[in-house]
Amino acid sequence: SQKIEQNSEALNIQEGKTATLTCNYTNYSPAYLQWYRQDPGRGPVFLLLIRENEKEKRKERLKVTFDTTLKQSLFHITASQPADSATYLCAPSGGYQKVTFGTGTKLQVIP
Amino acid sequence: GAVVSQHPSWVICKSGTSVKIECRSLDFQATTMFWYRQFPKQSLMLMATSNEGSKATYEQGVEKDKFLINHASLTLSTLTVTSAHPEDSSFYICSALNTGGESGANVLTFGAGSRLTVL
């Protein structure tokens, strides 16, 4: 069956450092992979999308990589700030309508 | 950008009553909407896919008679929790598929969620 795994339940990082979050998937062949941010008690917000033919994508302090051989995406936040504290969700998608999310990684940036 | 409005944001009801949650796409047409359920500290669980003008497609294990979904227009989908019980208490979130999003990919725009508490 299809499975999406994100690293650890929580990731604590010092302000100013780079946070790296991992998304591994099995039994998927996604055309692209999406990353969302969710704050407590709110709906997720779309951040970035990377296509299967793209190795890397950047948006301001965010960087996403996509390795279809490893079936893995890495999500980096450089120069992290306390305001980046949230839960980050990955979603392999494309080729089919429904979007299924990983378990999410809770990021806490410590001042 | 694309906005999805969901309300009510929270509702408390008595056991046995029905509750309706509305999800509207404000500035785009959404032929497809999704309803998710989220338990504390857990990820989003897809309940059903709602297509305008047709019956919703429910995920395995989701009772279609308990969770009625109606997608009567290109901008409105509703979820009705019928005969609610305490175990239905949860955070329900809708999302609309925005095919006009980034490079034509199927990006989701989410509502703010509805917290349902059944007493």
Chain A residue with Cα closest to B115: A41
Q: B89 in contact with A at a CB cutoff of 8 Å? A: no
Q: In the prediction, which pLDDT does A34 show?
A: 93
Q: Is residue B52 packed enough to be buried (19+ CB in 10 Å), middle (13-18) or exposed (0-12)?
A: middle
Confidence of residue B107 (pLDDT cuts 50, 70, 90): confident
CB atoms within 10 A of CB B28: 18
Cα–Cα distances in Å, from A46 out to A23, A109, B72, B116? 16, 20, 26, 24
Dump pLDDT digits (tens) for B20-71: 999 999 988 888 899 999 998 888 999 999 888 888 999 999 999 999 999 8
Q: Please list every residue in chain A whose beta carbon sits closer than 8 Å to the beta carbon of residue B102.
A: 49
Helix (H, G, I), strand (E, B) or coil at B105: coil
| Distance separating alpha carbons of residues A39 and A7, to the nearest angstrom | 18
B111/A43 touch (CB, cutoff 8 Å), yes or no: yes
Q: A96 in contact with B at a CB cutoff of 8 Å? A: no
Q: In the prediction, which pLDDT does A88 show?
A: 96
A23 min Cα distance to partner chain B (Å): 14
Q: Please list every residue in chain B whose beta carbon sits closer than 8 Å to the beta carbon of residue A51.
A: 103, 105
